[in-house]
Structure 1
Amino acid sequence: MSDLISFTDILERYLKARIPFISIRSSERSRVLEVVRNLAQKINIPTYVHTLSQGMRDLVHHRTVSEDRSIMGAVDFMSSQFTQRQNLTYVLTEVSDLEDDTPTARYFYDVAMLAAETGGSVVVVTSNPVWNPLARLGMSITLDVPNEDEMLTIIQEQISPYRGQIPINWTEQEEKEAAAILSGISQIEAENVIATLLAKGKIEKEDLVELTQVKDSVFSDISGLERIYIKDQELTVGGLEGLRKWLDHERPLLTADLRERGIRPPRGVLLVGVPGCGKSLSAKAIASSWNLPLYRLDLSTIYGQYVGQSEGRLKEALSTADHVSPCVLWIDEIEKGLAGSQGDSSGVTNRLVGQFLFWLQEARSRVFVVATANDVSKLPPELLRRGRFDELFFVDLPTPEERRDIINIYIHRGLKRSLDDRLLDELVRLSEGFAGADIESAVRDVVKEAFLKGDNSITVDLFRRSFQNVVPLSQTSPEQIQAIRTWGRERAVSASGRPITDDPNLGQMKRNMLYP
């Protein structure tokens, strides 16, 4: 990472040292040119910039010196000027084909050698790597998008002129939170977002939610990630009190400035356990309750047929997640994408696992990962080591109290009514061993009848038959449930805050909850 202050300091030294070739890695051309313009005035060196729209012009005085807008025309112009004058600096902003051994790269190699003889500098602003022999003629430097401190300054500069003219109800705390939300986008994108808010004629605290939505629109077409839009009726999750308490405890840390403490924001949770018990639904509920956009990383779409393609796609997807942060990144059934394959003789899967785990541990962006897994036996052991995820939760079959909550949720959603306590108690008993998905299936049958025959057709017997007709996984595959619980007892925290046992109603917890 290179913030603006360190970038400016390093670039100034490169220009004073007359480094013949300087590669600036950045996607913000205007921001780079502003820095170079200020440095050109400060150290008093003739500096010219070339663009495809305006040709070559004086960077400080905006005077056109060559109307040839082509790259090769710019190279010819630089070559002729270097032979006539000393200490010239040329900045090129739209150069392609410099990554490999191409004619363009070789032309730049020759002109950089000429610059070295006359105390000149060729500066290329690009977002791509540079051919190695050319790069070794000089130095490279990166200007990243604004960090939180720089983003805070941008926001304050945008808002300050309007204070006293329109209602602005942001304190410094809201401005800092806005800076955290907008981190990852360019200066001009941030200025456009704030200008959109100012155009309403006022800025309210509630606009922080809109900031996330507007930022999301900047990254509406994301390679490797799928934006998940959540419907309100999908958000209610029954039970899982242990997970809820942990999330409530961690939420303030996601947007807080933790740099002075030397710790990173919450990284995420791994939810393992019985299929159909709300793991995937929890990812949606977290994003909704935290007012964050939800993105789904589908690892099955990452794999490509060419060498290095899979790794490149995963790197791009994770980099994009960093840019759209703060957000929730949902990885469903992660074991299927990272479990490895006996037929994978190329080692692609192992490299993907290593790449993902490195990002998970080392990245400092505010991406909260919610990964789910059903088949715990296929999880890579490295994924379970402390430091990868903040916590590992086990989602068991719902307890009687949780089944009561889940039944009520689906009854209110589908029938818009409440059940008699005696009937509800009976359905709780009938649903012993049910997963949340099993309960949803049973209630759905009743709702279908209500839609087809009217609410008056709903009887106690219909509820009984609907629940009795469901054969849950705990009955069809009891060995699978037993194996999952055995694994969870030793390695995970209970998501419900209750013991993980062979019988979900009995037994003692092997691990205490963090926040009882």
Structure 2
Amino acid sequence: MSDTREFHATLTRYLKARVPFISIRSTERARVLDILRDVAGALSAPFYVHTLSQGTRELATGRIVNEDRSVIGAVDFASQQMAQRQNLSFVLTEVSDLEDDTPSARQLIDVAMLAADHGGSLVVVTSKPVFGQLQRLGMSLVLSPPTEDEMAAIIHEQIDPYRSQFQIEWDDADIRQAAAILAGISRLEAENIIATLLVNGRIDKNDLVELMHAKDRIFADISGIERVPVRGGDLSVGGLGGLKSWLARERPLLTADLRERGIRPPRGVLLVGVPGCGKSLSAKAIAQDWQLPLYRLDLSTIHGQYLGQSEGRLKEALATADHVAPCVLWIDEIEKGLAGATGGGDGGTSTRLVGQFLYWLQEARTRVFVVATANDVSKLPPELLRRGRFDELFFVDLPTAPERRDIIGIYARRGLQQRELAPALLDELVELSEGFAGSDLESAVREVVKEAYLKGDAVVTDALFRRSFQNVVPLSRTAPEQIENIRAWGRERAVPASGEPIAASTPAAGRPRRAVLA
């Protein structure tokens, strides 16, 4: 049974039972009224609905029954009619201030009591919670956005009539993928997006990518998470072969229909390791490679000064991520945003944030692929590392010699577009850069590029490259103990992102090294 059918059946039971107060949580007022209109026709009972634009009217016919368009006028009219007649149902769509003990909530309590005495029902359509004392007089319902099956039916309704007029390349598999992409938005929003494709006079396979961008634009100005623009030319990631292979295997599962298999879409990865080795860049590269919008959740800005404010902000941010799915959600330096969860120095706020985040990470079924990065692994809450939270935990180590060769080549080609490094020079730079992080390699090549820009490409010589690399003092030399501690943690707890053993060290006796499934 689809969510809409279940909602329809439950609402019908409540109205047949003459439940005096029914709250419907939804942002789709038109869709709720369509369902109510259908239920009212089946029950053959008088239904009245109020909107600010049209006042109070009969739901079935649209006939105006009260000229006063204000909410106060509608509530007064409902009170009068409830006191005089039996089995009336009133639907209010514009009532505000119902979350707390306010005059509006108190007035509706009186109307609901009248409804209970005269066999009536007061229905409130709202997108916010309802004051507890009022809600306990009746029942509540939530109308979720269309399911994937319902979204597929909506897409069929929109495009099938045009198949004889336009070239429409989408088959059933494409429509199922489109439905997965559009999941989480309203029927009207989906219809608008499909209509913008139809005005082109055709729909082809490439329009599936446009669906993601169109959906992204709907939520572009919603607070909670930050939209990160992705520029493909700057996102070549050298090395990390193990991580890349794992991602290539997981990508088709993100938009596949996995319900029959009883598994959820890929949830994400936690990237830990040496600072400056490409963890943040990997998040951008994943979004670019998968052609998904990238959003950044900064947990450090979530914290508020009032009790419960931090939890509310995080809940709003995660709900926004659910709405914009499918997407990549990047959480940079996650240990800083959850600082205090292990020490309890903030009154328990961080502990509650961890619990809320982990619950969402494990239970949500939206197609949000989380890429979280961490440098200081000692501050990570232990429960964050348990299996079932992230799909995999990768350790990003200092690049190996082949990876350094790859990274140097990428930065040199990007900054010195007409120059290909000679193999002998490249071998020498790889040897000079032993212990360099990816950011160190970028810095060394950048110095050469700056000289080429300021003095011309003719100044770029092998000696300039050597001097630039020799001037870099990497973190592995200034803080070797810190690097070794990070590596020691990663050897037994994480999968090497490079696909190679971490620092070529021997694991503890009797303990097999972790590896990604082939």
Smaller-chain TM-score bracket: over 0.9
Matched residue SS, 1:501: helix
1:502 Cα offset (Å)? 5.7
| Contact 1:501/1:508 (<8 A) preserved | no
Deviation at 1:131, TM superposition (A): 1.1
Q: How does 1:468-487 map to 2 (within 5 A)?
A: 468-487=470-489
Q: Which residue of 2 is the match for residue 301 of structure 1?
A: 301
SS in structure 2 opposite 1:330?
A: strand
* 1:106 Cα deviation from its structure 2 partner: 1.0
* SS in structure 2 at match of 1:128: coil
Alpha-carbon deviations, 1:172-196, whole Å to 9, x = none? Answer: 1111111111111111111100001
Matches within 5 A, 1:1-40: 3-40=3-40
What CA distance in whole angstroms lies between the structure 2 residues aligned with 1:409 and 1:197? 37
Query: 2:136 maps to what in 1?
Result: 136
Which of 427, 430, 454 does residue 429 from structure 2 map onto? 427
How far apart are residue 147 of structure 1 and its match? 1.3
Distance 2:82 2:445 in 1: 80
Residue 2 of structure 1 and its aligned partner are, at CA, apart by 8.0
| C-alpha distance in 1 between matches for 2:262 and 2:86 | 47
Output the CA distance in 2 between the equivalents of 1:372 and 1:337: 11
SS at match of 1:382: helix
Give 1:433-448 correspondences, 5 Å limit. Answer: 433-448=435-450
8 Å CA contact 1:37–1:59 kept in 2: the answer is yes
Q: Secondary structure at the match of 1:87?
A: coil
Partner amino acid, structure 2, of 1:455: D
SS in 1 for 2:281: helix
Paired letter, 1:102: T
User: Which letter does structure 2 place at the counterpart of 1:298?
Assistant: D
Structure-2 separation of matches of 1:502 and 1:433:
13
Give 2:491's aligned residue: 489
Deviates more, 1:336-345 or 1:52-61: 336-345
Cα distance per residue 1:296-332 (max 9 Å; x no partner)? 0001110111111100000000011011111100000
Cα-to-partner distance string for 1:80-139 (whole Å, 9 max, x where unaligned): 111222111110001001111111111111111111111111100001111111111111
**1:155 is aligned to 2:152:** no
Q: Residue 321 of structure 2 aligns to a residue in which SS?
A: helix
Structure 2 Cα separation of the partners of residues 435 and 390 of structure 1: 26
Determine if contact 2:340/2:346 at 8 Å carries over to the other structure: no
1:400 equivalent in structure 2: 401
Amino acid at match of 1:45: A
Q: 1:92 to 1:277 in 2, by over 3 A?
A: same
1:215-265 deviation line (CA, Å, top 9, x unaligned): 000001121200000112221000001001101111111111111111111
Q: 2:468 aligns with which of 460, 466, 475?
A: 466
Match of 2:72 in 1: 72
Counterpart-to-counterpart distance in 2, 1:508 and 1:460: 47
The question of whether the paired residues in 2 share the 8 Å contact of 1:181 and 1:326 is answered with yes
Distance 1:72 1:2, change over 3 A: farther
1:449 and 1:232 mapped to 2: Cα distance?
25
User: Secondary structure at the residue paired with 2:202?
Assistant: coil
The count of corresponding residues between Structure 1 and Structure 2 is 514
Per-residue deviation, residues 335-358 of structure 1 (Å, max 9, x unmatched): 101131657342111111111111
Deviations 1:38-95 (A, max 9, x none): 1111111111110011100011101010011111111111111112221111100010
Cα deviation code 1:356-407 (max 9, x no counterpart): 1111111111110000001111111010000000000000111110001001
- DSSP-derived class of the 2:307 partner: coil
Q: Which moved more, 1:481-490 or 1:2-11?
A: 2-11
Give the residue type in structure 2 aligned to 1:295: Y
Q: Are 2:361 and 1:357 aligned?
A: no
The one-letter code matched in structure 1 to 2:412 is I
Q: Distance in 2 between matches of 1:350 and 1:97?
A: 31
> Where does structure 1 lack aligned partners over 5 or more consecutive residues?
none
Shift of 1:512: 4.2
Q: Within 5 Å, which residues of 2 pair with 1:183-262?
A: 183-262=183-262
TM-superposed deviation, 1:510: 4.5
Q: Which residue is equivalent to 1:452?
A: 454
After TM superposition, which residue ranges in structure 1, 4 or more long, deviate above 6 angstroms? none
Percent sequence identity is 70
Q: How far does the alpha carbon of each residue in 1:456-494 deviate from its partner, in whole angstroms, 9 at most, with x for none?
A: 111111000000000011111110111011101110001
For 1:378 and 1:500, locate their aligned partners in 2 and report how far apart those are by CA, in whole Å: 21
Gaps of 5+ in 2: none
CA–CA distance in 2 between the matches of 1:434 and 1:76?
Answer: 75
Quick check: 1:116 aligned with 2:116? yes
What's the CA shift for 1:508?
Answer: 12
Aligned equivalents of 1:80, 1:354: Cα separation in 2: 48
Q: Is the 8 A contact 1:237 1:278 kept in 2?
A: yes
CA contact (8 A) 1:443 1:466 kept: yes
**Taking structure 2 as the reference length, what is the TM-score of the superposition?**
0.97
Alpha-carbon distance between aligned partners in 1 of 2:165 and 2:511, rounded to the nearest angstrom: 60
Residues 49, 91 of structure 1: 8 Å contact kept:
yes
Provide the alpha-carbon RMSD of the alignment. Answer: 1.6
Q: 1:429 to 1:345 in 2, by over 3 A?
A: closer
Could you tell me whether the CA contact under 8 Å between 1:434 and 1:473 is conserved in 2?
yes
Residue of structure 2 in register with 1:273 after alignment? 273
How far off its partner does 1:503 sit? Answer: 6.0
2:380 paired residue number: 379
- Matches of 2:510 and 2:123, distance apart in 1: 67
Q: What residue is the counterpart of 1:346 in the other structure?
A: 347
2:123 counterpart SS class: strand
Counterparts of 1:98 and 1:224, CA distance in 2: 24
User: Aligned to 1:487, what secondary structure does the other structure show?
Assistant: helix
d(CA) in 2 for partners of 1:173, 1:485? 45
Closer/same/farther in 2, CA of residues 412 and 345 from structure 1, 3 Å limit: closer
